[in-house]
Chains A and B, each alone.
Chain A
Amino acid sequence: MNSPIRRLTLALLIGFCLLLANVVYIQAVAADRYRSDHRNARVQLARSERERGVMVDRSGAVLVSSEGQASTFLRTYPFGDLLGHPIGFSSLLFGDRGLEAAYATDLRSKQDLTISNVIAGILGNDLRPANLRLTIDVALQQVAAEALGDQVGAVVAIEPSTGAILAYVSTPGFDPALLIGGEAGPAGDTLDADPAEPLRDRVVNQLYAPGSIFKIVTTAAALESGEITVESTFSNPTALALPGSESTISNADGHTCGSGAEVSLARGFVLSCNTTFAQIAMTLGAGALEAQAEAFGFGSEIPFVFPVAESMFSPVDLADDLPALAQTSIGQRDVRVTPLHMALMVAGIANRGDLMSPYLVSEIIDGDGQIVTTTQPAPWRKASSESTALAITQLMVDAVNSGTGAGARIDGVQVAGKTGTAENPDQAPHAWFVGFAPADQPTIAIAVVVEFGGLAGDEASGGQTAAPIAQKTMERWLKP
């Protein structure tokens, strides 16, 4: 009589052991997989039910906010695609990007579901999300984006003395609103498949040949060497034969560098003569040029809130390859740079040789408007001596006043600048302009790149295509 009851008991208890095994599997072994399943509404709700912090520009204009009330917040982006790249998004389907990702911890409301935060709430701690004040000036950003228009490219404006980023434009942009929410799939896939790559942040994530703006590095190397001054002269051929090869280097217009048999470094810089700089580089040697490029941060990781593609000087040793060295010295061959890096480089010249670490967030502000953290400007590296920087500044002033950079002139303000027209094999050139203003007390440094010549196509040049964009942007900053 008792043994069948014992067996029934055993059967039930074995059943409970199996329950135990299943529960352990679901809640411990496979918990992460199930918990993060995109169909688990908790994942979606965790985003939309909680308020996120606001981001404002340097003068307080709201760039992104959480609209709504308890448990139904919608992230809204009043400027649409203007700030898509720096602000980024926090999306269920497409992950987290930009500042939304980098400052996720600060922007998140602590009125959430963790025990520690509930206890913090009981203790009276502030559970509201923190807010960010960006260094960006939204009006400047707008002018820069409008100046770039429908062309593919980037504009980066920096305050030279601090490294604060004033404008951060990568075109084409995207509206983050399209990528958030559970229904964002098709819109996001369209953006992802667009050949113009609107989701690519060209400011930090696209490498371009710099062309003649690299002559700033070559000039710095020359002046730092002590052997060459701005007055040093070089021969002035129509085309410079490169030793050890049959190739030649010529100037953009195919002519000599101005008139005369000899040409100075200064004149070569102002007219952006390739023949002159090839000779300077070959005089200096590969080592000096490479060292100077490294001083400007080539091959180094830029300390920034987003990962920045590393700019490249040369993948091979150029010591025994003078033709390659000559082409490198004018920003061709294998030299590759990001727009952010070029803005830092020219800001470094403006800041008398000191490169500052770039930053986008100046203050973290709590729910009561009290500043919690203020970003302290931090030097990144010394690129050149003050005298070299000042000398290059003068050359850049001349380039704008009487050379290739005329398109960047602003009435009543002395602009310093350098153009670049980076040749691309079988494609239109990239048009570059880097510069700053006012030349004696710079408050803004800028890098502009128009990918594959933009609307001008094969006819594009740094002076014609990129300089006017820089001019409009800097003018807005200097004469608001």
Chain B
Amino acid sequence: MTRNAEGALILAAALMAAFGVALVNIAGQQPIGADVALTFFVMVTAFGALHAAVRRWAPKGTPYLLPLAALLAAVGLSEIYRLNPEMASLQKWWILIGAGLGILTLWGLSSVGTQILRRYRYIMLLLAMGLLVLPLLPQQWPLPIRGLAVNGSRLWVSLDLGFIEMRFQPGEIVKLLMVAFLASFLAERQAALTMRTRKVGPFEFPEPRQMIPILVAWFASFGVMVYQRDLGASLLLFSAFIAMMYAATGRNTYLVVGGGLFTIGAAAAWSAFAHVQTRLEAWLVPFEHYETTGYQISNGIFALASGSLSGTGLGLGRPSLIAFAPTDFIFAAVGEELGLVGSVLILAMYALIISVGMGIALRSRDLFRKLLAAGLTFTFGLQSLLIIGGIVRLFPLTGITLPFMSYGGSSLVANFVLIALLIRISHEERV
């Protein structure tokens, strides 16, 4: 596939977003208005600029990722517009900001390359830690940056610039920084971690002192997230950690130990947090707890089932009956209106992004880039898997966003940067 094809597909995705908004207008028996043009403009501007940036600074980068991200964003944006036009206009801003940060990433790495990330790993770690504790800032104090509790979780930071108050979840960016840190650290110590090992029964462990920085990093971030009750993000980070250790060493030990730690952690979470217990209950028997804990999941299932094979059509279902439809449950809302056909296509797009991302990792000759690409793709894939799995009852529900589709600035921005990084890595490998 060529760069030109990438551009054409991005244009097609922008047209689809505009078409989706037009369909919502028609279904709502409103005139097809400025929103259609605005949606098209935003999509073309954001992804077109990103496309231009790729041409300029990563011309050999993979052409597959941008069109897929654009298409997911198009479907998500149409559905958010259908649910809440005001949220959709905010989402448009976030798409522009996210694309801007993606371009900034490509530009920033254009001369120094991703190796710069490898070099400054401890700065990234510190940055991650700092961002992680930001939400714990007091909610009331003189400084314009404050912690914020939304829906009972201290995950948000409010940046009050006087004329505008911006809110973001630093957790999403922390994820990227931690993956980059881990890739760098593991690439550096790979030999030490795999060669000098101690045998404990059937398992081989590296020298404990080789592990200290990584364990400190992990415990700190994991601890803060648990303290903030962001169990979805904790699980994601934990899994990324284990997966990258496994990818770096190829030792099954990490999978076994990781599985064990997960079991202990899950048991601890289950006994410590009442909301973990209710979520488990809601997962196993949502319809028996319909009035209380099972309500959200049951309604997600009702929405999907009401969509059936071909869906009600965009703007013609009742996805507003789903709680948290624009954020956690965007997949159920899309499934209701676009049907099984739409659901399967969305699953296919995520699976394609995973395949492309992992393909970049597999083809990378440089260990750091290999681990970075694998880690980024794995977090992206696992996050999609966990939230969709929570909706279709494959897993208990975790309150995380669906990359590129869910409403939410931090998530969009982080995923734009993630895609930009993957494109940059593939470019560097081909130069």
Give chain A's interface residues, CB within 8 Å of chain B: 1-6, 8-9, 12-13, 15-16, 18-20, 22-24, 26-28, 30-35, 37, 39-42, 45, 113-115, 118, 121-122
In the complex, the answer to whether B344 meets A9 with C-beta atoms within 8 Å is: no
Known: A5-B374, A12-B381. A35 touches B393 (CB 8 A): no
Q: Given the complex, which residues of A lie within 8 Å of B318, measured CB to CB?
A: 41-42, 45
Q: Given the complex, which residues of A lie within 8 Å of B313, measured CB to CB?
A: 113, 115, 118
Q: Given the complex, which residues of A lie within 8 Å of B246, measured CB to CB?
A: 4, 8
Q: Given the complex, which residues of A lie within 8 Å of B354, measured CB to CB?
A: 9, 12-13, 16
Show 20 A/B contacts (Cβ-Cβ < 8 Å), sorted by A: A1-B248, A1-B250, A8-B243, A8-B247, A9-B358, A12-B381, A20-B347, A23-B335, A23-B392, A26-B301, A26-B305, A27-B309, A28-B340, A31-B306, A34-B305, A40-B305, A40-B306, A41-B299, A42-B318, A121-B29
Q: Which of the candidate stretches B269-277, B382-390, B421-429 sits at the interface with the other chain? A: B382-390
Min CB gap B218→A, angstroms: 18
Contact of B343 among A8, A18, A27, A32 (CB under 8 A): A27
Residue of B27, B299, B306, B367 ringed by the most chain A CB atoms within 10 A:
B306
In the complex, the answer to whether B247 meets A42 with C-beta atoms within 8 Å is: no
Q: Given the complex, which residues of B lie within 8 Å of A118, measured CB to CB?
A: 26-27, 313, 316
A20–B361 CA distance with the chains assembled, in angstroms: 25
Contact of B362 among A2, A13, A24, A45 (CB under 8 A): A2
B 314-373 contacts with A by CB, 8 A: 316-318, 321, 335, 339-340, 343-344, 347, 350-351, 354-355, 358, 361-362, 367, 370
In the complex, the answer to whether A1 meets B321 with C-beta atoms within 8 Å is: no
A30–B27 CA distance with the chains assembled, in angstroms: 27
Q: Given the complex, which residues of A lie within 8 Å of B394, measured CB to CB?
A: 15, 18-19, 22
Q: Does B181 contact A (CB under 8 A)?
A: no
Contact of B370 among A1, A23, A122 (CB under 8 A): A1
B 236-253 contacts with A by CB, 8 A: 243, 246-250
B 369-421 contacts with A by CB, 8 A: 370, 374, 378, 381-382, 385, 388-389, 392-394
A329–B393 CA distance with the chains assembled, in angstroms: 69
In the complex, the answer to whether A8 meets B358 with C-beta atoms within 8 Å is: yes
Q: Which residue of B lies closest to A18 (CB)?
A: B394
Known: A4-B246, A39-B290. A16 touches B347 (CB 8 A): yes
B 144-177 contacts with A by CB, 8 A: none
A41–B321 CA distance with the chains assembled, in angstroms: 8
A197–B309 CA distance with the chains assembled, in angstroms: 43
A33–B298 CA distance with the chains assembled, in angstroms: 13
Q: Does B304 contact A (CB under 8 A)?
A: yes
A45–B290 CA distance with the chains assembled, in angstroms: 18
In the complex, the answer to whether A19 meets B389 with C-beta atoms within 8 Å is: yes
Q: Given the complex, which residues of B lie within 8 Å of A27, measured CB to CB?
A: 304-305, 307-309, 335, 339-340, 343
In the complex, the answer to whether A24 meets B316 with C-beta atoms within 8 Å is: no
Query: B interface, by DSSP: helix, strand, loop or mixed?
Result: helix
A37–B303 CA distance with the chains assembled, in angstroms: 11
Q: Which residue of A lies closest to B359 (CB)?
A: A9
Q: Which residue of A lies closest to B380 (CB)?
A: A12
In the complex, the answer to whether A6 meets B362 with C-beta atoms within 8 Å is: yes
Known: A12-B382, A13-B354. A20 touches B344 (CB 8 A): yes
Q: Given the complex, which residues of A lie within 8 Å of B388, measured CB to CB?
A: 19
Known: A6-B362, A9-B355, A28-B309. A34 touches B340 (CB 8 A): no
A19–B26 CA distance with the chains assembled, in angstroms: 32
Contact of B392 among A4, A22, A121 (CB under 8 A): A22
The 6 closest A-B pairs by CB, nearest first: A34-B305, A22-B392, A27-B340, A9-B358, A40-B302, A12-B381
In the complex, the answer to whether A16 meets B335 with C-beta atoms within 8 Å is: no
A5–B357 CA distance with the chains assembled, in angstroms: 11
Q: Given the complex, which residues of A lie within 8 Å of B45, measured CB to CB?
A: none
Residue of B302, B350, B351 ringed by the most chain A CB atoms within 10 A:
B302
Min CB gap B85→A, angstroms: 17
A26–B394 CA distance with the chains assembled, in angstroms: 11
A359–B109 CA distance with the chains assembled, in angstroms: 82
Min CB gap A8→B, angstroms: 5
Q: Which residue of A lies closest to B373 (CB)?
A: A5
Q: Does B110 contact A (CB under 8 A)?
A: no
Contact of B374 among A8, A37, A42, A122 (CB under 8 A): A8
A12–B389 CA distance with the chains assembled, in angstroms: 12
A440–B367 CA distance with the chains assembled, in angstroms: 108
Q: Given the complex, which residues of B lie within 8 Å of A16, measured CB to CB?
A: 347, 350-351, 354, 385
Q: Does B89 contact A (CB under 8 A)?
A: no
Q: Given the complex, which residues of B lie within 8 Å of A4, measured CB to CB?
A: 246-247, 249-250
Q: Does B278 contact A (CB under 8 A)?
A: no
A15–B394 CA distance with the chains assembled, in angstroms: 9
In the complex, the answer to whether B393 meets A22 with C-beta atoms within 8 Å is: yes
Min CB gap B245→A, angstroms: 10
Known: A6-B362, A19-B385. A37 touches B302 (CB 8 A): yes
In the complex, the answer to whether B247 meets A23 with C-beta atoms within 8 Å is: no
Min CB gap A42→B, angstroms: 5
A330–B191 CA distance with the chains assembled, in angstroms: 109
Known: A27-B343, A42-B318. A5 touches B362 (CB 8 A): yes
A15-B394, A40-B302 given; 4 more Cβ-contact pairs under 8 Å: A23-B335, A41-B302, A41-B318, A118-B27
In the complex, the answer to whether A12 meets B302 with C-beta atoms within 8 Å is: no
Min CB gap A52→B, angstroms: 19
Q: Given the complex, which residues of B lie within 8 Å of A5, measured CB to CB?
A: 247, 358, 361-362, 370, 374
Q: Which residue of B lies closest to A15 (CB)?
A: B385
In the complex, the answer to whether A122 meets B26 with C-beta atoms within 8 Å is: yes
A34–B301 CA distance with the chains assembled, in angstroms: 7
A5–B245 CA distance with the chains assembled, in angstroms: 11
Q: Given the complex, which residues of A lie within 8 Å of B343, measured CB to CB?
A: 23, 27
Q: Given the complex, which residues of A lie within 8 Å of B298, measured CB to CB?
A: 39
A133–B286 CA distance with the chains assembled, in angstroms: 47
A32–B361 CA distance with the chains assembled, in angstroms: 43
Q: Given the complex, which residues of B lie within 8 Å of A31, measured CB to CB?
A: 304-306, 308-309
A23–B301 CA distance with the chains assembled, in angstroms: 9
Q: Given the complex, which residues of B lie within 8 Å of A3, measured CB to CB?
A: 250
Contact of B355 among A13, A37, A114, A121 (CB under 8 A): A13
A18–B317 CA distance with the chains assembled, in angstroms: 26
Known: A27-B339, A115-B313. A12 touches B306 (CB 8 A): no
Q: Which residue of A lies closest to B358 (CB)?
A: A9
A475–B422 CA distance with the chains assembled, in angstroms: 90
A22–B354 CA distance with the chains assembled, in angstroms: 20
Q: Which residue of B lies closest to A25 (CB)?
A: B392
